Structure formats: structure tokens, C-alpha cells
Structure 1
Amino acid sequence: MSIIFECEYQGRRYAGLGIPVPGEPHTLHRVADGRLAAALVAGGGPEALSAAVARGTETVEVTLGDPELRFLPPLLPTAPDSGLINGFMGTHRSKFDRAPEPDEEFTPPNYYIKGFGSWLRMPDEPLTTPADPVWLLEEPEVALVYVNDDRGVPHYAGYTFGNDLNDIGLHLKNPWAWTPYAKLCETSLTPWLFLGPPPRTATGRVVIERDGRPAWEGPFSCGTDSLFHRVEDMTGHLFSYPALRRPGLVNYLLLGADKATYHDGFRIEDGDRMVIDVTSHGVVLANPVQYGQAETARS
């Protein structure tokens, strides 16, 4: 399966093929903002993205760790309101007491909007939370990436992996009203865009580090085989809403997570480092937790 990524290097936008290997030079191809998204919506499906990267004839070689190299969320435009982070809740089979019937009528899962694409964070960047969260929960998830064309038709680009950090303690205090507040923690994504259908299975381990040492760890599994609903039913329903089909919008759609630290009674604290090792796909997403500062509007 092909993998692409975008980044900034020395103040210019580039793209690459595959995942860079630490210590080895990796070729970057110069691309203009929006060029890859345009190639996707022009036709050819996700694989058109690989060809668009390779057509960038101006190249440079870089090595991971170069201080001038900064990775970007997949296909994120520079325009501040052209990306949307959103997702589904309660999607995993483990949260139901039964299996779905083969011809069962689709009931949409709970849905939330988390923020603009510019709010996304990359690996190793801090994830800021409210100043006084009740009980934080990391959520390793598959994130689908869609780009709307000029007519507002969504085009599937591929998938990546994210951490939908949220305050489950606040959510559980009032699930019908306070969930939007609970979701107001920053979200991280890996920059690697896998150019294939949503994975049936993605597995790995979560490690929460405190003071440089593992304080909690456990396995996780996500992917379409873990879901109660079919992805095509969820996305078909979601994109029936015109607001999500705004031309040019890049949509980062989180598919939900299984049980994790909270369900084991572990509390994530300020300064902890969350490490999500997606072993099945050879990628790691690590971010420190940073409590925000409380502020109020000034008149």
C-alpha cells in the first residue's frame, strides 16, 4: 500500500512517499498548497496522490530530526477554516451487548465536531486540555480523510491514525449535554496518509509515560472489524448533511475507540506523555499532555 505525507522544510511545502527511516536521507518533492487535493478530486482515486507527489521535480533530501523539517496533517490547506476535525462515539462492538443483525436498519451513532483542521497537532507536539479536567482519556483511532470538490462531493483520500484526547470524566457527569465540552481537548494525527480503504484491523499498544517511565500500558485494536456499524453507512449518513459538503473542505473523520486507560482506573495527568504505537502499521504517535490556563472574556 502506498503512503504519502506533506511537510514544511525551510519555509516551503513538500511531499514525500513512504515513511522516512531515522538516520537515512529521504527525498522530498516540492508541491504547492492544495496540489495533492486537486489531484485527488480530479479523478484517479487515492493512488492519484502518489503520482502527484512524484511529479514534483524540485527535490531535496532531508533526515528525520532536521530542525527545519515540520510535518503537516494530511492534505491540510493553509486556509484556516478549510479543515474540520469530527468523529463518531460509541461505535465499537465491545460497547454493545449484541452483534448487529445482517439486515439491521442503520441507526446513526453519536457524532461530534471537535474543531478546525488548524487545531490538529503532530507527533511530539503538546496536546492542550482545559485547565482542570475531570478524567482524561486517550483514544487511539483510525481517521479517514476526505476532500470535497468544487461541487461539494466528498472524495476519499485514505486514512491515518489519531489520538482523540478528551475528558471522559466530564462526559460521564452529563452525557447528553456536556460531551461537546469534554471534547475540547486538542487532537493529534500522524502525518502519514495510507492510500487504501479503511483498515479492517489496526493493533498496537498504548503507553502512558510519567517522569520518563511507563506508568500504564495496554493493548488496543481498531479498524472496521471492531466497529458495530459499517463505515459506508456512517459516512453516507454524515455526508447527507450539506454543511459537511462545503466545497474545498478537508474532513478528518475519527471512527471511534475501544476501552483504554480510564476503563482500567488510570488517570492521565499534566505532563504525562501518551505513546500510541500502531504496531500493525509501523507508526508511533506520541504527545505530551499540557493543562491549559483558565481565562474568561474581557469586556
Structure 2
Amino acid sequence: MNVLFECTYQGRRHIGLGLPAEGEPLRLVPLGDRDLKDLLLVGADLADLADLADEPATTVPAGELDAVSFRPPLLPDHPGGAMVGGFMQTHNVKVDADTPAQPNWFLKGLGDVLRISGEELRAPAGSVALTEEAEVVLVYVTDAAGEPRYAGYTFGNDLTDIGRFRRNRGHLSYAKLCDAAVAPWLFLGDPPSHVTGHVTIERDGEPCWRGEFTTGTKALHYGLDAIMSELFSHDALLTPGRVHYVYLGADRSSFHDGFRMADRDRVTLDFASHGVTLSNTVSCASPMLAAAAREGS
């Protein structure tokens, strides 16, 4: 698996290859004035990053890794240069008699709703019942001709106010207006067919819920090519240069097990099959959410 990432180190943009190993030095190549998404659009060979650099690679010692700030894959500097959205109820485990021929699509927001591991996930103060959603995230870059070009995939947590959606099925758009966690690693290959892992939720520093998940294209009720073709048939999405982060839907979550998330809970998603972990604290000072969590505990 070829994996590409972008980060900031000593005030400068850098790129690297591979999943960083904990406690190991990190090899980085200065990006300079280049735009990583543009390099991908022109088909640059990223297998050897040294060929892209005008100066030598940098090795960050293990003791200085705290000075490296990772970024969501291909995230533009301006929030309006990215759209974050996805599909709901796409998985086979959620299929029922009312399942539509094309899944509902939702918009979570622009690029500034993306959070990497360690950052807080914000939710509206009026949230009813939040839940995690461990998902595959596809990344597309729209070229100069308005053609969406698949760049690769990563993994994310589509934090959702499922309580609001259950209370009013017409409120999917509101239910999705929470931050989304995303891993900074861009996997340069076809979307994964099979992804497994587990979720751990901590409250006041102690584990309070744990569950497993299965996702990937084999878990989908829908054909991926068909739903993506339908999505990108709409000109309103095809502004040249725009980056799209498409969340593909989730397996069952803690909510389906009767668990109620509370403000300041820490949610850790371990995509064990692919060596990726996301851990974020939920920030939502909602009296409704706190009361629901107390009743469910």
C-alpha cells in the first residue's frame, strides 16, 4: 500500500511516504511552492519524493516528532476549496424494505469541519444523541475541466446527531452538521474492499463502551461506481480545483447498541486492518445530550 501524507514542520510544508512508525524518525521532503493536489492531477510519480524536491530531504528525529503537524489529505488552504459530505445507510446491515435505489447524500460542511486525530470534534449545542461512524473516505480533486479525479482514500469518523435524525427523518441535513475526523494518510490505490476494526469510547478517562465494525466496498449495498457517477453528475459540485471528501457510510455504531454519548467523551476508532487510529474528544455542551447520556448510563 502506497501512502502519502502532508505536514508542516518548522513553519514549512512537507510531504512524506508511508505510515509513520511510532517512536521512529520521520523522513520528509520540502514541498516548496508546489501544490500536492496539482502534482497528483498531472500524474507526477510520487514513489520517489526526492525527485520532486529542489533541496535535500529532512529527517525529523524521534524526539522532535511533536513539532510535526499533520494535515488532512490534500486539504486546500482556503476552507471553501473543499467540500465534506457522504452517503447514509449504504451498508448491507442497514438495508430494509424502504432502502432507495440511490442512497441519500448529505453535506457536512467545507474544509474547516475536518479534524485530525487529537483534535476536538465539535457538535451543535442542541444535539440530541451523538454517535460515531467509522467510515472509508474517498478523496477526489476536480481538474481544470471540471472532471472529478479520484486521488485515493483514507479513514474517518462521521460524527452524527443520530437522535435528531431518528426524531425527524427530514432532519438528516441538520444531524450531519458536526465536525468529521479524518486520518492524514492518503492511500494511493483503489478503495478497500474489506476494513475491520473496533471503537472505544471513554468517559472521565475510563472505557465505557467498546464495539467492532466492518466496512469497505464489500459491505456496501450499492455499487460504488454507480453512486459516485450519480453524485458527480451535478454541475454544482464540479468547481475546478475543489477537493471532495466523500464518507461512504458506516456499520452499526454505539447508538445501535443503546449507548448514549456525552460531552467530553473520547472516541477512538482503530482501523486495525489498515494500521490507522483516530482518537478525538467530543465537544458539545448540550443539556439535552448530557441528560440523555445520564439516562442511558
Q: For residues 214 and 51 of structure 2, what CA distance do their matches in structure 1 show? A: 33
Paired residue for 1:23?
Answer: 23
> SS where residue 236 of structure 1 aligns?
helix
> SS where residue 146 of structure 2 aligns?
coil
Match of 2:211 among 218, 223, 228: 218
Paired residue for 1:95?
Answer: 94
Question: Going by fraction, where is helix more abundant, 1 or 2?
Answer: 2
Flag the 1:145–1:67 CA change in 2: closer, same or farther, 3 A.
Answer: same
Q: For residues 259 and 141 of structure 2, what CA distance do their matches in structure 1 show? A: 37
Q: Compute the RMSD of aligned alpha carbons.
A: 2.0
Q: 2:137 corresponds to which letter in structure 1?
A: A
Q: Does 1:289 pair with 2:258?
A: no
Q: For residues 7 and 201 of structure 2, what CA distance do their matches in structure 1 show? A: 27
Q: 1:273 corresponds to which letter in structure 2?
A: R
Q: Does 1:121 pair with 2:115?
A: yes
**What are the Cα deviations for residues 70-128 of structure 1, in whole angstroms up to 9, with x where unaligned?**
11000111122101101001100111148x9xxxxx92110001111122101010101
Match of 2:159 among 158, 161, 165: 165
Mapping of residues 32-47 of structure 1, within 5 Å: 32=32, 35-43=35-43
Flag the 1:125–1:291 CA change in 2: closer, same or farther, 3 A.
Answer: same
Match of 1:208 among 201, 211, 224: 201
Give the TM-score taking structure 2 as reference length. 0.90
Q: For residues 250 and 52 of structure 1, what CA distance do their matches in structure 2 show? A: 22
Q: For residues 144 and 194 of structure 2, what CA distance do their matches in structure 1 show? A: 33
Q: Is there any run of 5+ residues in structure 1 with no aligned partner, and where?
A: 101-105, 295-299
User: Is residue 4–residue 50 contact of structure 1 (8 Å, CA) maintained in 2?
Assistant: no
User: Is residue 21–residue 64 contact of structure 1 (8 Å, CA) maintained in 2?
Assistant: no
Paired residue for 1:135?
Answer: 129
Flag the 1:32–1:112 CA change in 2: closer, same or farther, 3 A.
Answer: farther
Sequence identity of aligned pairs in percent?
Answer: 46
The alpha-carbon deviation at position 33 of structure 1 amounts to: 6.0
User: Is residue 6–residue 73 contact of structure 2 (8 Å, CA) maintained in 1?
Assistant: yes
Paired residue for 1:55?
Answer: 52
Q: 2:80 corresponds to which letter in structure 1?
A: D
Give the TM-score taking structure 1 as reference length. 0.90
Q: For residues 64 and 196 of structure 2, what CA distance do their matches in structure 1 show? A: 27
Paired residue for 1:174?
Answer: 168
> SS where residue 155 of structure 2 aligns?
strand
Flag the 1:74–1:53 CA change in 2: closer, same or farther, 3 A.
Answer: farther
Q: 1:4 corresponds to which letter in structure 2?
A: L
Q: 1:55 corresponds to which letter in structure 2?
A: L
Q: 1:199 corresponds to which letter in structure 2?
A: P
Q: For residues 128 and 166 of structure 1, what CA distance do their matches in structure 2 show? A: 11
Paired residue for 2:292?
Answer: none
Q: Is there any run of 5+ residues in structure 2 with no aligned partner, and where?
A: 288-297
Q: For residues 73 and 63 of structure 2, what CA distance do their matches in structure 1 show? A: 18
Q: For residues 40 and 124 of structure 1, what CA distance do their matches in structure 2 show? A: 28
Q: Does 1:198 pair with 2:222?
A: no
**What are the Cα deviations for residues 179-199 of structure 1, in whole angstroms up to 9, with x where unaligned?**
111111110100011111000
Flag the 1:243–1:293 CA change in 2: closer, same or farther, 3 A.
Answer: same
Flag the 1:64–1:233 CA change in 2: closer, same or farther, 3 A.
Answer: farther
Paired residue for 1:253?
Answer: 246
The alpha-carbon deviation at position 39 of structure 1 amounts to: 1.8
